[in-house]
Amino acid sequence: MQNLILIGYMGSGKTSVGKLLSKKIRYNFIDTDYLIEKNEEMTIPEIFKIFGEKYFRNRENRLIFQLAKKKLKIA
């Protein structure tokens, strides 16, 4: 099973497209922003303001690798 990861600028529609695409191709949809917000107990803008973009990108990268190791389909 292969993973599919959508990347792009903030607000470019990755979540919207990911949800539609995952239904169409029968993949699980995982929103990494949602998971990070849940785990950090703050919003993405709050994370950027308090810890900076580098912290967020590192957190995002670690999460994607953790999910990929579980062989989940990511959209």
Give residue-wise pLDDT tens across range 1-56. 577 888 888 889 999 999 999 999 998 899 999 999 999 999 999 999 999 999 99
Q: Where are the domains of the chain?
A: 14-69
List alpha helices for 11-43, DSSP H.
Answer: 14-25, 32-40
- The three-class DSSP label of residue 52 is coil
pTM score of the predicted model:
0.79
Considering only CA atoms, which of 52, 60, 54 is closest in space to residue 8?
60
CA dihedral 28, 33, 57, 75 (to 10 degrees): 20
Whether the predicted pLDDT of 72 surpasses 60:
no
- Smallest CA-to-CA distance from 74 within 18, 34, 36 is with 18
